Amino acid sequence: MSVQQRNYEERHIEKKHDPSRVASTFIKYFAYVIITFGVLYFIAKYLLPMF
């Protein structure tokens, strides 16, 4: 073996892009937004008119 071959180091670079993980994260945050708007709608429609 030559010096060049012994010093050769193989590297595997993996992308941190998993479509299923991206989709599940999007669904989770979309649900948070929908729930937040639902609570705000409930407050505006039913609780604020009481005062």
Is the pLDDT confidence value at 42 over 60? yes
Coil vs helix vs strand at 11: coil
Average pLDDT over residues 18-36: 95
Mean pLDDT, the chain, as a whole number?
85
Q: How far is it, in rounded angstroms, from Cα 32 to Cα 38? A: 10
pLDDT category at 5 given cuts 50, 70, 90 is low
The pTM of this model reads 0.59
Give phi and psi for 16, each to the nearest 5. Answer: -90, 50
Is the pLDDT confidence value at 14 over 90? no
Q: Distance of CA 14 to CAs 9, 11, 24, Å?
A: 16, 10, 20
